[in-house]
Amino acid sequence: MTNGSYFAFKTVDWANMGGATWETVWMTVVSMIVVAILGVLLGLLLFETTASENVWVKLLNGVVSFLVNVFRSIPFIILIMLLLPITKNLVGTIIGPSAALPSLIVSAAPFYARMVELAFHEIDRGVIEAAEAMGASSWQIVYKVLLPESMPALVSGATVTTISLIGYTAMAGAIGAGGLGNLAYIDGFQANNNTIVLVATVIIVVIVFAFQFIGDFLVRRIDKRTL
């Protein structure tokens, strides 16, 4: 043991580190795919029901809006504990990367849904109206106008969400979900090996930078508003 040193790289089990990295990336990507789908659907629901005058639609909007706000407010570490019974039912275990998915999704989807709703509201009302005037159906307006016209905002929102998900995976890791957070906690903190903590940190920063880079690159590619 190299007590307290940050640079005792001989003590690092690189195979372990690689596995943990893979677990972190896997948790992030899988949960983000589900979050993106759920978030767009929820965001669309919120957007479409906002201006309605129908009492039931208004009620639906109120309920969904309230739930989104509630789940956005619960601190992630508490949400994991809250969802433990559900996770056990759904995944069959409360340990490992799969067990982290339900709480990751439940915490990030409402966050992303709000961003999606905002992105749709940013679209020029006139463009939507022009599509209506051309005889487009509601569904055509969604996939021909709302989604393509808000795509840069949807992608940059997804980037931000992905990055906060990486943070959540580390937290989930600390209570048994695996990944770099888990490794840093068990093999690093509890074993008093700061090198492991440092290496895990550096890898997480690299992952965050990579996602940020991909996100920015995509936004630049699809945004044709200013050339």
Partner 1 sequence: MIEFKNVTKTFTTKDGDLTAVSDVNLNIDDGEIYGIVGYSGAGKSTLTRMLNGLETPTSGEIDINGDKITALSGSELRKKRQKIGMIFQHFNLLWSRTVIQNIMFPLEVAGVSRKERQEKAQHLVDLVGLTGREHSYPSELSGGQKQRVGVARALANDPEILISDEATSALDPQTTDEVLDLLLQINKKMNLSIVLITHEMHAIRKICDHVAVMDDGRVVEQGTVFNVFRNPKQEITKRFVSEEVDPALTDTNSIVEDLIKSYPDGTIVQLVFHGDQAKLPIVSEMIHQFPKVQVSIIEGSIHQTQEGSIGSLYLQITGDKESLDGALNLLKKMRVETEVIHRD
Note the residues at the interface with partner 1 (CB under 8 A).
124, 126-127, 129-137, 140, 144-145, 148-149, 151, 222, 224-227
Cβ distance to partner 1 smaller for residue 124 or 216? 124
* Cβ–Cβ < 8 Å for 142, 44: yes
Q: How far is the CB of 225 from partner 1 (least distance, A)?
A: 5
Q: How far is the CB of 75 from partner 1 (least distance, A)?
A: 38
Torsion over CA: 95, 81, 21, 211 (sign): positive
Torsion over CA: 93, 94, 95, 98 (sign): positive
Q: How far is the CB of 44 from partner 1 (least distance, A)?
A: 17
| DSSP secondary structure code for residue 92 in this structure | S
Per DSSP, helices labelled H in the chain are 14-50, 55-73, 76-82, 84-91, 97-121, 125-133, 138-141, 147-172, 179-183, 194-222
Cβ distance to partner 1 smaller for residue 28 or 156? 156
Q: How far is the CB of 38 from partner 1 (least distance, A)?
A: 24
Taking the C-alpha atoms of residue 161 and residue 148, their distance in angstroms, rounded to an integer, is 19
Cβ distance to partner 1 smaller for residue 190 or 226? 226
Q: How far is the CB of 144 from partner 1 (least distance, A)?
A: 7
* Cβ–Cβ < 8 Å for 38, 104: no
Stated length of the chain = 227
Cβ distance to partner 1 smaller for residue 117 or 149? 149
Backbone angles phi, psi at 53, to 5 degrees: -105, -10
Cβ distance to partner 1 smaller for residue 140 or 192? 140
Distance of CA 24 to the CA centre of its chain: 13
Q: How far is the CB of 124 from partner 1 (least distance, A)?
A: 7
Cβ distance to partner 1 smaller for residue 88 or 144? 144
| DSSP secondary structure code for residue 95 in this structure | S
Cβ distance to partner 1 smaller for residue 75 or 135? 135
Q: How far is the CB of 121 from partner 1 (least distance, A)?
A: 16
Q: 225 is written with which tokens?
A: 């508003």
Q: 80 is written with which tokens?
A: 């994991």
